[in-house]
A and B are shown apart, each in its own frame.
Chain A
């Protein structure tokens, strides 16, 4: 039944699932991050970089931000659909959010790349 719900017949279900899966990815990342902070107690720049710069952690961080962008896109879209009734105006706001989120994702890649 689950598979049936995820076919083209019910496009909204995929978005619904994407919202939940991205939430789970972010929750796991944040729990691991909190644990690392508690265990390592990084003090100073060097300790902070030791925590943040391993390649696998940067990859996980990128996954976190990809999930965040997806999650925010779906969430903001729902809010706009509920409160902005003029379709033209809503399209303009949505475009603004789309552009902003793409910029944020590019910015994240720059931050992680230059570490």
Chain B
């Protein structure tokens, strides 16, 4: 049985009091987007299969995607791809000791976020 003293020990597990630095945000988002991409892989393969199997399945897929709901889903999921892509390139750059100092790493993290937003917006503009 723990004493009262022990039970009253302060905890700092309130996640709202912990502010992640931008590099940490990029890193955890890289991991999460990787999981998302793994989970949507069967849908991607299915779409690829439909697009090349026959002209009928190609047109059926095109018809299915030509609707605001699948387009929105695609744009949201494209964020996972673009983030994983750009953050991955950033990791590769750091593996060869490029942009490794803290100020440069912060700069490249912000650059990744900007490229994410830009790419997702561009994709949305292109398919609408």
A27–B52 CB distance below 8 A = no
Minimum Cβ distance to chain A for residue B38 (Å): 5
B41–A104 CB distance below 8 A = yes
Q: How many A-B residue pairs have CB under 8 A?
A: 47
Q: Which of B34, B49, B53, B58 contacts A75 (CB 8 A)?
A: B34
Q: How many interface residues does chain B have, given as a range?
A: 20 to 34
Q: Which of B52, B55, B59, B92 contacts A23 (CB 8 A)?
A: B92
Q: Which of B41, B58, B89 contacts A48 (CB 8 A)?
A: B58
| Residues on B with beta carbons closer than 8 Å to the beta carbon of A95 | none
| Residues on A with beta carbons closer than 8 Å to the beta carbon of B34 | 72, 75-76, 79
* Distance A75 CA – B80 CA, assembled complex (angstroms): 15
5 tightest A-B contacts by CB?
A45-B58, A45-B55, A111-B49, A75-B34, A72-B38
Could you list which residues of chain B lie within 8 angstroms of chain A, going by C-beta atoms?
Answer: 31, 34-35, 37-38, 41-42, 45, 48-49, 51-53, 55, 58-59, 85, 88-89, 92, 95
